[in-house]
Structure 1
Amino acid sequence: MKLQQKSQEENVTEWVEFVLLGFCDVPHLRWFLFGVFLLIYMVILLGNGIIILLTKVDSTLHIPMYFFLANFSSLEICYVSVILPRMLMNLGTQQRAISLFACASQMFCFLTFGATECFLLAAMAYDRYVAICNPLHYPVIMNHKVCSQLVAACWISGVPVQMGQTLQIFSLPFCGSNQINHFCCDIPPVLRLACGEIFVNEMMVYLAAVVLVSVPFVLILTSYIKIISTVCKLPSATSRAKAFSTCSSHLTVVMLFFGSAMVTYLRPNSTHSAGTDKVLALFYTILTPMFNPMIYTLRNKDVTTALGRLLGK
């Protein structure tokens, strides 16, 4: 292990390299997990790639709803690519060491893409709100310029906050154990290795989580309360069913992603455990991106019809 020795007066050894333990507690499942995660990665790339392709080549999908969906699929590919390749490398080679810089870079990208996903899901909820509650003004309100600005804001809004959060976490001294009991450089397991008083850092994490997770979730909740109120007033049962079907896929993804993220970042620090954190992290980093293409294609007639036309060609 590489160590950086501080002055003799302080008598503290500070690590400049971490070890991602990942799933080393189940060595007999090493190659099984490698195969499962490799298959999941291929499914994520293929599923989200197909959605991106369909929204580009099929003219019937050239509307705001699918513009947001294409960006969401692109985001999912970026999101899992920060985590899964290194996880696969660690499982395959058993070389689990990761430098402080690489760990900080992974955390920054992971948190930034996570924040982007929160805001993008909120933008998609707003799009559904306008489409259902203000259908006559929808083409004017959700024009291409507005959609592009919303997407751009979603991609860049989390960058300064997550840059600051990553810098303040990695400015802490890390001493004692250098073993991160996780498969990626997430905030809770990294903070456990920090020396000294970290109360302020924990409060900053909670504040960032409230802003970047809770605020978009409240916006989504508000949009769907208004959507449900409007749909319930529709005279035709067919119209109500159609309106609900256009929102059900998005609402399912919201519940999967926000549910696991909120439990991870907003619950008290005393209730954190390595095993629980890893299981929850699997939901919002790997399983949700894998299910998203299935949810959006199987429950969306426009996408399945476009896929049929593409396969027919």
Structure 2
Amino acid sequence: MTIITLTFVDSHLKTPVYFFFTNVSLEISFTSSCIPRYLYSIATGDRVIAYNASVIQVSFTDLCGVAEFFLLATMSYDCYVPVCKSLHSVTIMSNRVCRILIIFCWMAGLCVLIPPLSLGLNLKFCDSNKIDHFGCDAFPLLKISCSDTWLKEQMVIICAVLTLNMTLICVVLSYACIIKTILRFRSAQQRKKPFLTCSSHMRVVSITYGTCIFIYLNPTAKGEVTIKKVVSLLIFS
């Protein structure tokens, strides 16, 4: 909220990079879709969640999570433009282009979410109703369902693979061009500034992609989820 407020108040922060930072900061909706429920359960000891509430939680967390990958890919392009196209960066990353990219990120997240969510709404739970996870997520829900979940598992994996691959390719290509351009600089001081500018984004990309590849590219949801629970904490942190 501090980042969002400062970006709107300070006129010096009306730049594409801070515009994208503001939208990434909107992942407050990502954490707020589950963290308040966690705190409530810890404070009251009530660990029961209604079916409708679980569906809403899965929908919001997955939508914000998928949109974040596209935002990270867009931010990698925003890092690429000032380094590799410095003379045309203002024209390329205009306010109109930035708004279009942001709308695309959220619409892409919605398009990726709809197919697996529509298949998951007809799940039947006739045995266990205990979710072996901190919150409601796709694989923990599939694990306790007594329906045939093979198609749904494959749909989740396909959507995860497409999202990760498409966005990761954009990130890798952007940083490949950035590194290639930086290596052409003659002085170490000229090379240092672009690396410092991109380093924070690279760390976020590494943690986000690493944890989600580990969680969502497992071939089956019926397997062990204990390790996935621990790794998932990295996403919410």
Same fold (TM over 0.5): yes
Shift of 1:197: 2.4
Q: How many residues matched? A: 237
1:111 maps to which residue?
62
Query: SS of the counterpart of 1:223?
Result: helix
Query: Using a 3 Å threshold, how does the CA distance of structure 1 residues 56 and 277 change in structure 2: closer, same or farther?
Result: same
Shift of 1:208: 0.5
Paired residue type of 2:128: S
Paired residue type of 2:143: R
Shift of 1:59: 2.1
Shift of 1:270: 6.9
2:202 maps to which residue?
251
1:282 maps to which residue?
233
Query: Using a 3 Å threshold, how does the CA distance of structure 1 residues 269 and 225 change in structure 2: closer, same or farther?
Result: same
Contact 1:65 1:124 (8 Å CA) reproduced: yes
- CA distance in 1 between partners of 2:153 and 2:7 (Å): 41
Shift of 1:53: 2.0
Choose which of 12, 15, 22 in structure 2 pairs with 1:70: 22
RMSD of aligned C-alpha atoms? 1.4
1:58 maps to which residue?
10
Q: What per-residue deviation string (whole Å, max 9, x for no partner) do you get for residues 87-137 of structure 1?
A: 111111111111211111110111000011000000000011111111111
Query: Using a 3 Å threshold, how does the CA distance of structure 1 residues 96 and 270 change in structure 2: closer, same or farther?
Result: closer
Query: SS of the counterpart of 1:160?
Result: helix
- CA distance in 1 between partners of 2:208 and 2:196 (Å): 19
- CA distance in 2 between partners of 1:229 and 1:271 (Å): 44
2:33 maps to which residue?
82
Contact 1:129 1:226 (8 Å CA) reproduced: yes
1:225 maps to which residue?
176
Q: Tell me the percent identity.
A: 38
- CA distance in 2 between partners of 1:262 and 1:246 (Å): 26
Paired residue type of 2:19: F
Paired residue type of 2:8: K
Counterpart mapping for 1:14-33 below 5 A: none
Contact 1:125 1:220 (8 Å CA) reproduced: yes
2:79 maps to which residue?
128
1:167 maps to which residue?
118
Contact 1:108 1:163 (8 Å CA) reproduced: no
Choose between structure 1 and 2: higher strand proportion.
1
- RCO (CA 8 Å, sep 6+): is it higher in 1 or 2? 1
Shift of 1:167: 2.3
Q: What per-residue deviation string (whole Å, max 9, x for no partner) do you get for residues 176-232 of structure 1?
A: 101001111111111001224221111101110012222111211111111111111
Choose which of 201, 210, 213 in structure 2 pairs with 1:262: 213
1:158 maps to which residue?
109
Q: What per-residue deviation string (whole Å, max 9, x for no partner) do you get for residues 244-296 of structure 1?
A: 111001011111111101100012327942321111111112x1xxxxxxxxx
Paired residue type of 2:144: L
Contact 1:231 1:240 (8 Å CA) reproduced: yes
2:94 maps to which residue?
143
Task: Give the greater-gyration-radius structure (CA).
Answer: 1
Contact 2:125 2:144 (8 Å CA) reproduced: yes
- CA distance in 2 between partners of 1:132 and 1:80 (Å): 33
Instruction: State the TM-score, normalizing by the size of structure 2.
Output: 0.95
Instruction: State the TM-score, normalizing by the size of structure 1.
Output: 0.73
Contact 2:67 2:109 (8 Å CA) reproduced: yes
2:153 maps to which residue?
202
